Amino acid sequence: MSKRSPKTDVSGFKSEGDLNISPHRQAWLEEHIDPETKAWLDEDAKYFLRQSLSTPCLNVFKSCDGIYVEDLQGRRYMDFHGNNVHQVGFRNPRVIAAIKAQLDELPFCSRRYTNIPAIKLAKKLTELAPGNLKKVLFAPGGTTAIGTALKLARAATGRFKTISLWDSFHGASLDAISVGGEAIFRQGIGPLLPGTEHAPPPDPSHCPFQCGTQCNLQCARYIEYVLEKEGDVGAVIAETVRSTPYIPPPDYWKTIRAACDRHGALLILDEIPHCLGRTGKMFTCEHYDVVPDMLVIGKGLGGGVFPLAALLAREDLDIMPERALGHYTHEKNPAACAAGLATIECLEADGLLENARVQGEHALRRIGSMMERHPLIGGARGLGLLMGIELVKDRKTRECAGEAAERVMYLALGKGLSFKITMGNILTLTPPLTITREQMDRALGIIEECLVEVSR
Ligand SMILES: Cc1ncc(COP(=O)(O)O)c(C=O)c1O
């Protein structure tokens, strides 16, 4: 098994509370940040609570447009990160127009009242969702929607235990980090929720069952083993595909779906970052021909403008009319819902799911040919426009090339391409679904140039 490096994001900030600033980050700052930007960064550091993976900030953005973000100094970057909110591109004209119109009419709606954009968005989502996911609750963020799903699962099954996956992320609140599987979010915070069992994810390169290069579903069968041993698990909760990305094999979800059914557990799929087309389908579970009991979506649902998430639940899970389930101030925010509706209109009218498939396949082919020239690339995988390039020191040992990955990231940033690194050595690429082939080729060209420089 290869050894993992701590998670690194675009700030170059290591996960394990490592306050040492990386030399690559430092070099980038010295080369690219002028006194005005530096002054704003200092102000940011003065007023905001520090936290890993978010601070210290690297740069100050001034504007964004389509696949680009622009910094204070007027430099433009292709944003292949975008926190996965930018399916339709930043400042998409249709989304912005819908929001502006809604702001002029009804920008807020108090609880116990409703509004037309909220009703229309709920209707649209239930029409798009697979199976019997006919009931909706909006939430002002993915984490809160996950919390709602966990509460509903307890109420529906009378069981409090869950099974989730190591390395997973479901948000940063206490309930979400209890089911989440990343140490950085869990350590030193406990006690966490009781009954949160964890199982290995479908990640062949770190599989405790040593499945080799291809997942052989032992990890999926292990979930059934835990369901059976515990006997009273209420829900299995997992990301359909992990952002890293891990792309489970075709039968993975069918195996787990069947196990949940046999043991009376609900299946909750978290598609917060990849819903609405990133993988080439509206919902990722459609790739697996599986319908969960609850599906949680978010991020791009707010059009890259508003925090908006949704829990889609099986119709017969509408069982809590007498108890508070979500109860959020912004649970039917009209402007956010107008943004959501406009986002879906763009996805449909502009053929963005098809574009995600086409550009994703093209990119993976091109990365495959880069692999022949660059031994540093240990593997590449993707689904639509969720892609990862894994850098290794040696293809046989698969030892993580974390240092090289970080250098590539900062070099690419210097050439106008922003992306993040996950698991310490995976260049994770999630561009807007509006990307053109020419833009994709330019971005991959930058990555290749950086690989050449790093290998020298
Ligand atoms: C898989 C997954 N679940 C949940 C969340 C939490 O969403 P939010 O930040 O909107 O609360 C995230 C955010 O990155 C995520 O990637």
Q: Cα(449) to centroid of ligand 1, in Å? A: 32
Query: Could you give the CA distance from residue 77 to residue 442 in angstroms, rounded to a whole number?
Result: 12
Q: Cα(30) to centroid of ligand 1, in Å? A: 32
CA 180 to chain centre: 13
Ligand 1 site: residues with CB under 6 angstroms? 141-143, 146, 169-171, 239, 243, 270, 272-273, 298, 309
Ligand 1 atom nearest 83 alpha carbon: 14
Edge to edge, what strands does the sheet with 233-239 contain?
A: 135-139, 309-313, 294-297, 266-270, 233-239, 161-165, 196-199
User: Which residues, at least 6 apart from 234, have a Cβ–Cβ distance to it below 8 Å?
Assistant: 153, 154, 156, 157, 158, 159, 160, 161, 162, 265, 266
Buried b (16+ CB within 10 A) or exposed e, 362-378: ebbebbeebbeebebbb
Q: Cα(144) to centroid of ligand 1, in Å? A: 9
Using most ligand atoms within 8 A of CB, pick from 169, 284, 301, 420 the residue to mutate for ligand 1.
Answer: 169
Write the CA distances from 49 to 22, 45, 54, 55, 141, integer angstroms: 20, 8, 10, 8, 20
Write the CA distances from 392 to 78, 206, 413, 419, integer angstroms: 25, 14, 21, 18
pLDDT value of position 259: 98
Provide the 8-state DSSP code for 283. Answer: S
Please name the residue whose Cα sits nearest to atom 2 of ligand 1: 170
Reference 136, options 337, 347, 306; nearest CA is: 337
Q: Can you point out the beta strands (E) in 305-448?
A: 309-313, 377-383, 386-391, 417-418, 420-422, 426-429
Reference 233, options 304, 299, 159; nearest CA is: 159
Residue position matching structure tokens 């998409």? 92
Structure tokens given for 269: 């799929």
Please name the residue whose Cα sits nearest to atom 13 of ligand 1: 171
Q: Cα(32) to centroid of ligand 1, in Å? A: 30
Quickly count: other Cβ atoms within 10 Å of residue 234's Cβ: 24
Write the CA distances from 102 to 54, 117, 248, 345, integer angstroms: 32, 9, 40, 16
Query: Could you give the CA distance from residue 126 to residue 277 in angstroms, rounded to a whole number?
Result: 16
Residue 245 near residue 382 (C-beta atoms within 8 A): yes
Ligand 1 atom nearest 173 alpha carbon: 11
Collect the ranges in the chain with pLDDT lower than 70: 1-21
Query: Could you give the CA distance from residue 282 to residue 291 in angstroms, rounded to a whole number?
Result: 13
Q: How many CA atoms lie within 13 A of 187 on its CB side?
A: 7
User: Which of left, alpha, beta for 23 (phi over 0: left; psi -120 to 50: alpha)?
Assistant: alpha
**Backbone φ, ψ for residue 279 (5° rounding):** -90, 5
pLDDT value of position 245: 86
Residue 450 near residue 411 (C-beta atoms within 8 A): yes
Quickly count: other Cβ atoms within 10 Å of residue 283's Cβ: 24
